[in-house]
Amino acid sequence: ETDEKNNEKRTKTSDVSQEYDDNFEEDIDDAEKNVPDDEELSSRLSNYDEDSREGQFYENKSSQNESSSQPIAENSEYDNVDEEDDGTYQGVPLSEITNVCQQPPTIIDMKDVCERTHTFLIKPFKYTSTDPDAEPQAFYENGTYVDEWDQNYVRLPCSQSYINKNGTQRWSIIQESLIKLQHLAETHMASMDDIKETIEECAGRSYELNCLERLLNEVYTVDERAHFMSAVLSNICTLALNVDKICSRPPPLLRIGSNRTVTMSQKQAASLLSCAFFCLFPRRFNQKVGSEYENYQNPNFNTLFQGGRKGGTTWKLEKLRCVFHYFHRITEKMPNGVISFRRYQLPESCVPKWTESTEPLCKIHITKNKTIEDMDGLLQVDFANKYIGGGVMNEGCVQEEIRFVICPEMLLSLLLCEVIQPNECIFLIGCERFSSYRGYSTSFQFKDNYIDETPKDSWGRKLCHVVAMDAIAFYNRSSQYTLKNMKRELIKAYTCFRVPAALTDPKAGIATGNWGCGAFNGNKQLKAIIQLIAASQAGRPLVYLTFRDQNLVLSFYKVYKYLLDEKATVKDLCTYLQQYTTLYNKITLFDYILETPDETLNITERWRKRLEIKYKLIINGHEEARGVGSKYERIPEGSNDRYAQWANNLTEEQLYTQMMMIKTQLLDLPNELFLYIFQYIKSSHLVQIFSEIKSFRIQALIQSFISHVDISQESEQWIQTYVPNLFNQQNLIALRLQDKYLANISQYLSSSDIQSMHVISSDWTTDILKEGLDHIQQHIKQLWITFTYPHGKGDIANQLFQSDSQYEYLNITGRFLYFDYDDINICTLLTYLSIELEGMHRVFALIEHLPNLQELKVKFRTEERLVQPKPNLDSVITHNKLYRVTFIGCTKYFDHLENFFSTFGSTIEYLTINIDLMYYIIDGKRLENGLLNKMPCLSSLDIIIYSTAVYSNPLDIETFRSTTWQKFNPIIFWNDTHAHQKTIFTLPYKSDRFKHLSNDFISSWISNRSVSLCFEHVHTLSLITTTPLTLETFQFIEKTFLNLKTLELTDPIHLPEFEYENERLRNIPHLNDSFLLNRTVQLLSVTKFSFLARSQYDNYEIFHRFLHLLPNLIYLQMYIGRSLYREILTHEHDKNFIMNALIRIKLLQMVHFYDEKNILNNEEIHYLFPNAQILFDYDDI
């Protein structure tokens, strides 16, 4: 499907110059996704070119000026929507409609919520009217920030994983830029150019922020501008700079089907919106087909600030005034309430049987002069785009967009929410209103400050419940009368209106109106009846606001009164809709209902069956494409361009040399050029280059670039010369160094602010490391240790786990640690631990000594000949804070894993297992009983389990089809009968390595539910040849391994009891004839090929075919012997192709198969690989 979409996209070529390039963020082509048929199209209508210089607004043939589903046709009617209400209405009075402000719902205390699908960014909080100034506190205390950096969470800019391609953390760059702007604001010196420069430095992109500039320089009065550019702007900087402390962890994304809720404080919402102001949320600019956020809105404010050559439409300026008024208000006084965002999916079991429903019609109140946001205490309907927020960041200015700018906390739904599916909705609970307004659409204007006096519930949330209800956009108006589309809208409305049966409070009324009847071309009468059916089925009264349409007030009530007198039920109204499908062009729906005799309301069996069939189609949802704006990257202009190109075209060594030679001339450069230059130089070189320059300006500019310094490759003389000056820099946060220099820096730790340290240990012994650890344990909060000599001693546990250590985060890689129970002490501060161990018994010992451990990652090693002791379960003290566990590596003791989860599983929410069980195979029943049933809070499960089971029976996939397994991601099982390998894994496949693929996979994999395969996270794939690899296998790889970087060809596992089979496998050709002859398949993303098989490595045909398969190969790992060398020279007709391919190789890693007679000399190697660096996997050359 992605390939088909990409084939249809429209692209625009432009020069790009990317100052900052997120290591994970793709360059964006201007893409416009294909438009599906009009019956199912409800995509984003405003197709804004968010990254172009001009901020130009584009329309494709399916786009309109508005992005929501409210009316726009008769704007003259709406110029005075704030006109005083004349009080007229039809139906019951409002006093008879249940109102949550008058009858607050009963909700349990926040501390008692144990749903694993509800994430709190705050500690349990209880609001009382006697203490209205109490403030919610962040979930983690004392400025602690616990990061998540994956597709399930918002990627916050403060994450350590947010880095440039050169490894520089982006947060330090952002901090530097924001601090500079904040200083300018506080000294009343900030200008529009300073804001623009800061946004561009933070986002790494260039924008023309004409709408923002026009607001500040032309619309605002002198006093308004001065206040914003000083106090308000400084406060926005503060909130963005402290997002890690204010939020303490990233909120989860509310993904399709997740049924998740996230609750946060209004201060946390303000911090996140401040990040959006400076366009800090990474990757959200990229919304092309196949990108990570193609199904999300862009929450960054770049498009809100853009306005084309004229500086933006008047209504867009007024929207921006509303948002800035919010920042003005929170600067005066930060609100102390709580808000929630909830994604809800209607369970299939809760879908009503419409044609059998005898539910009576609900109460109704119909009026024309009120707006939905004024209906306090009712469920207020947001006439949403399925991409929530619609065109709020662009030109859209109707019901949804207006609601979001007068209640800007709702803008966070753009950050959190994936595209809404037909049986889903989004609830926005407790969002405060800050602005009043007049007009509508093109006449919209910010009016004045608004004091929201809505009372709060016991959680501190205002009793304001809004539901985002998206309609279909009908580009062919007649298509809305098909059964399929009427039922889709009916199920959507019911999803939004339904109250769970477990709730016994009186059901509050629903405030709605002409849903989907503007830009989406819905018929008012049809939408009124659909909403009446859904509200009646949900048992909730309906307040219907016709938006100044008096005719609709009268006609709707006439039909309602007629139905009420006839004692009509839900099933009767459904029958009217069924029978009206062929009459819509002859008579209006209201007239049809009024003129149809009662006897025609009998629902025949034919209609009932048709309804059920069509309904199933709707509940499954529909995939729809949407338009995406173009993207341009900034090209620095004028002299800046000249200097930037000069820096870009130098290697790091050349740039370093130039700067050492011309320090004096460099001091004459403007500040912004240093930011271009500094990013190309290693932090340690910056320290050296500028150590003797006393310029305050230069030292201030360089601070953010030397907050994280890598001195691991520097000499002892360098350490002695520059380290004292390095620690004098007050913002040194993190340091990477060799263990032998820990003693050199110990004297500076007590007076520095350093928090993190990465220690490299290259010795077999740990004596030097242990001595160094004794110096740092009371000063460092985060410690990484990487052993580059893996087989040495692992006896540092005594130095790591001391009762007085300050470690909160420990990550030990490259060596397995050995210790006894008495070697370690209780450490109360440690919350994160990643370690390599030999056996589960040591895990138990660690957890007993780490009472506040929250996240644990363990790599196991098991040697077949060794017997590991069982964990001691007798005196285990369990702790209730461990919520994330990752087990990887190899073990033959699955029962030890079961012991772990029986003991510690009660609090675990996230589990990842990537384990080789050696000769043991585990089915779904045992995994369920031994693992899943021991973890009642488990919400996320990712497993990969390998087994080499020769004599075992095939695994029964039915053991993974229980109700318990259906709560988690799909399971894939495949059995390679030739290689005796069995693999179990969940989808999506999360590991970056797929270590066993053969021809058998395509035909033999099975799943516990219907799935399509895609391995987008896999970067390394290992192929084995149990049968010659076929064309179909490589076509499968091309289609499903979309981001593959490394391809390996390896031998199957050697099984001593199967020598005959082993010999047969060694003689099997690696590639079959059809693939050798077919040249259509190419793996364009692969840049490294490892030929690790111990046979046919000198086969010229195989070598030639792999070179053609991998046209972008630059890293080759294999044995190149004399026989292959001669073959290459012999094939003259292929020589040009072969040599051109080998010229591209930048790195050749020679694998040794003890074939000394065939070894090439250096001259021969360099003849074949003239541009390659040569590495050897063996020591005898």
Kindly give the pairing relationship between strand 855-860 and strand 884-890: parallel
Q: Which two tokens stand for residue 1079?
A: 């040249």
Secondary structure element (H or E) that encloses residue 197, with its range? helix 192-203
Query: What count of other Cβ atoms lies within 10 Å of the Cβ of residue 1123?
Result: 14
| Catalytic position from the list 400, 808, 1048, 1098 | 400
Packing angle, helices 1122-1130 and 1100-1109, rounded to 10 = 70
Torsion of CA 238, 317, 402, 53, to 10 degrees: -80
| Distance (Å, whole) CA 170 – CA 172 | 5
**DSSP string of 975-1041, one letter each residue:** EETTTTEEEEEESS---SEEEEE-THHHHH-EESS------TT--EEEEE-SS-B-HHHHHHHHHH-
8 Å CB contact between 579 and 595? no
Q: Which two tokens stand for residue 624?
A: 């729809």
| Catalytic position from the list 39, 201, 244, 401 | 401
Residue 216 is given by DSSP the state: I
| Distance (Å, whole) CA 42 – CA 374 | 27
Kindly give the pairing relationship between strand 445-449 and strand 435-438: antiparallel
| Distance (Å, whole) CA 286 – CA 294 | 7
Q: How far apart, in Å, are the Cα atoms of 1128 and each of 1076, 1141, 1148, 1162, 1167?
A: 17, 12, 17, 17, 11
Q: How far apart, in Å, are the Cα atoms of 975 and each of 609, 687, 949, 1054?
A: 42, 56, 10, 17
Active-site residue 401, yes or no? Answer: yes
Q: Which of 545, 620, 536 is nearest to 574 (CA)?
A: 536
Query: What count of other Cβ atoms lies within 10 Å of the Cβ of residue 681?
Result: 21
Q: Which of 699, 651, 691, 657 is nearest to 674 (CA)?
A: 699
Q: Which of 719, 850, 749, 863 is nearest to 797 (CA)?
A: 850
8 Å CB contact between 297 and 217? no
993 in the Ramachandran plot: left (φ > 0), alpha (ψ -120 to 50) or beta?
A: beta
Active-site residue 400, yes or no? Answer: yes
Secondary structure element (H or E) that encloses residue 172, with its range? helix 170-186
**Any idea what the Cα angle at residue 1163 is, between residues 1160 and 1166, rounded to 5°?**
95
Active-site residue 8, yes or no? Answer: no
293 is in an annotated binding site: no
| Distance (Å, whole) CA 463 – CA 104 | 8
Q: Which of 191, 450, 447 is nearest to 319 (CA)?
A: 447
1078 is in an annotated binding site: no
| Distance (Å, whole) CA 731 – CA 481 | 65
399 is in an annotated binding site: yes
**DSSP string of 75-133, one letter each residue:** GGGGTTTTSPP----EES-GGGS--TTTSPPP---GGG---TTEEESB------TTSTT
| Single-letter code of the amino acid located at 718 | W
What is the Rg, in whole angstroms, of the alpha carbon atoms belonging to the chain? 33
| Distance (Å, whole) CA 109 – CA 185 | 42
Strand partners, 1088: 1046, 1115
**Which positions ≥6 away from 653 have C-beta within 8 Å?**
none
8 Å CB contact between 1141 and 1166? no
| Distance (Å, whole) CA 304 – CA 281 | 15
| Catalytic position from the list 201, 382, 836, 898 | 382
Burial class (CB in 10 A: 0-12, 13-18, 19+), 903: middle
Q: Which residue positions form the known binding site for substrate?
A: 385, 399, 440
Annotated binding-site members: 385, 399, 440
Just list the catalytic residues. Answer: 382, 400-401
